[in-house]
Structure 1
Amino acid sequence: MPTVSIGSDDYTAYGDLDAANTYLNASTTADAWREADDDTKGRALVSATRWIDEQSWVDDYSTFDLRVANPAFVNACFELAAQLVDDADFRTTFGQVQQKRIKAGSVEIENFRGTSVQSDTVFPSNVMLLIGQYLAGSEPAFAGAITFGTCRETTLDEGYGFNRGIF
Structure 2
Amino acid sequence: MSAFTIRNAHDDDFDRIFELWLENQAMAIGQAIEQNQIAAFRAELLHTFSRSHSHYYVAVSDDNNIIGWQSLTPLFSNPVMDSHISQSSTYVDKAFFRLNIAHALFEHAYRAAKNSGISHIYGWVQPNNKAIHEIASHFKHYKHSVPGSSNGKVPEFNLYVVVVE
TM-score band, normalised by the shorter chain?
0.3 to 0.5
Higher strand share: 2
Q: TM-score scaled by structure 1?
A: 0.35
Q: Which has the higher helix share?
A: 1
TM-score by length of 2: 0.35
Larger gyration radius, structure 1 or structure 2: 1
